[in-house]
């Protein structure tokens, strides 16, 4: 597969930050099973996201996890949820969706570069 190349300036526009999941609940309206996540981004505040992580994580497993998320996308309504950030994960045919790891020492709201 040929990748579309981007310029350094394009990547510089993406604001990726660390956060801590405070709460995770099943999104009852989602067609594909998903959680509604409440995430603390420090000075950026508390944000909400919808994430299809049910295959590998229980709601209890997610609470307290450090995650990486794009915080400067426009808000998107997903299955009745105001999704304010895009949580970053890998998607693998055999393993499903797996969260990217962020060091537990990273402060909420820290830039990821």
Which residue ranges make up each domain of the chain? 14-99
* pTM of full prediction above 0.85: yes
> Residue 52, by phi and psi: left (phi above 0), alpha (psi -120 to 50) or beta?
beta
CATH 2.40.50.140 fits 14-99, yes or no: yes
- pLDDT tens-digit profile of 57-98? 999 999 999 999 999 999 999 999 999 999 999 998 888 899
The three-state (H, E, C) secondary structure of 50-86, written as one string: EECCCCCCCHHHHCCCEEEEECCCCCEEECCEEECCE
Q: In the prediction, which pLDDT does 92 show? A: 86
What percentage of residues in the chain have a pLDDT greater than 90?
A: 85
Length of the chain as a residue count: 113
Residue 4 has pLDDT above 90, yes or no: no
Q: In the prediction, which pLDDT does 93 show? A: 85
């Amino acid at each position: 597969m040929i990748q579309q190349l981007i310029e350094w300036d394009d990547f510089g526009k993406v604001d990726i930050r660390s956060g801590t999941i405070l709460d995770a609940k099943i999104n009852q309206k989602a067609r594909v099973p998903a959680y509604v996540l409440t995430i603390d981004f420090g000075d950026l505040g508390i944000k909400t996201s919808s994430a299809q992580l049910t295959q590998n994580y229980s709601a209890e497993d997610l609470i307290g996890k450090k995650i990486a998320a794009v915080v400067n996308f426009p808000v998107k309504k997903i299955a009745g949820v105001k999704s304010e950030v895009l949580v970053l994960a890998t998607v693998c045919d055999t393993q499903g969706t797996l969260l990217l790891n962020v060091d537990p020492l990273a402060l909420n709201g820290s830039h990821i570069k």
